């Protein structure tokens, strides 16, 4: 009888641990606020068309990636990412209206999914607005959220 009770307790504990670890958890509100602020900082840096300011928001790792929406815009490592970001200086700025933001995090790593509109401002005047989505992975380093991966895309047919 004692063995059956112990076995039953172990099964219940195993089920509880498995279901708890597999279930989706919302990150704490504090983490959502931090990551939302990181997205706003990213938006402001891109709008300023300052490659150094944008680069400072990436993790200090050679494993960073920035993938744009055009063919061939796959940039791996600091050198390639910096080169792509330097192209921003040819524009008056990029920014995003972030209509929908989804955030998940384990406290040290976060992923984001953003839907909205990309706004490209041209130095010679004019603005182009395009439906845009981006996903990203951010890592928390020294109290700051830094990009490890940015992947942007224009929804098909738009």
pLDDT at residue 7, rounded to an integer: 44
Of the two residues 43 and 19, the one the predictor is more confident about is: 43
Of the two residues 157 and 65, the one the predictor is more confident about is: 65
Instruction: Say yes or no to pLDDT of 24 above 50.
Output: no
pLDDT at residue 121, rounded to an integer: 93
Mean pLDDT across the stretch 1-24?
51
* Residue-by-residue DSSP string for 4-53: HHHHHHHHHHHHHHHHHHHS--PPPHHHHHHHHHHHHHHHHHHHTT-HHH
Of the two residues 111 and 6, the one the predictor is more confident about is: 111
Model's pTM, two decimal places?
0.79
Tokens 């891109």 locate to: 46
pLDDT at residue 4, rounded to an integer: 53
Domain boundary assignment for the chain: 27-153
**Strands across the sheet containing 65-67:** 74-76, 65-67, 144-153, 127-141, 109-121, 93-105
Strands (E), 84-126: 93-105, 109-121
Tokens of 57: 């928001």
Q: Is there a contact between 130 and 121 (Cβ–Cβ < 8 Å)?
A: no
27-153 under CATH 3.40.50.11540, yes or no: no
pLDDT at residue 157, rounded to an integer: 72
Instruction: Say yes or no to pLDDT of 6 above 70.
Output: no
Q: What is the pLDDT of residues 84-136, one digit of tens each?
A: 999 887 888 889 999 999 999 998 999 999 999 999 999 999 999 999 999 99
pLDDT at residue 105, rounded to an integer: 94
pLDDT at residue 11, rounded to an integer: 54
């Amino acid at each position: 009888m004692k063995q059956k009770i112990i076995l039953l307790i172990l099964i219940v504990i195993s089920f509880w641990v498995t279901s708890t670890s597999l279930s989706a958890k919302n990150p704490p509100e504090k983490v959502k606020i931090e990551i939302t602020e990181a997205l706003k900082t990213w938006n402001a840096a891109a709008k300023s068309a300052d490659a150094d300011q944008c680069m400072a928001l990436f993790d200090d790792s050679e494993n960073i990636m920035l993938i744009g929406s055009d063919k061939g815009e796959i940039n791996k490592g600091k050198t390639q990412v910096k080169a792509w970001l330097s192209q921003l200086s040819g524009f008056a700025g990029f920014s995003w209206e972030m209509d929908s933001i989804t955030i998940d995090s384990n406290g040290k790593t976060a992923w984001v999914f953003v839907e909205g509109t990309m706004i490209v401002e041209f130095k010679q005047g004019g603005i182009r607005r395009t439906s845009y989505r981006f996903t990203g992975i951010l890592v928390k380093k020294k109290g700051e959220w830094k990009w490890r991966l940015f992947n942007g895309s224009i929804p098909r047919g738009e």
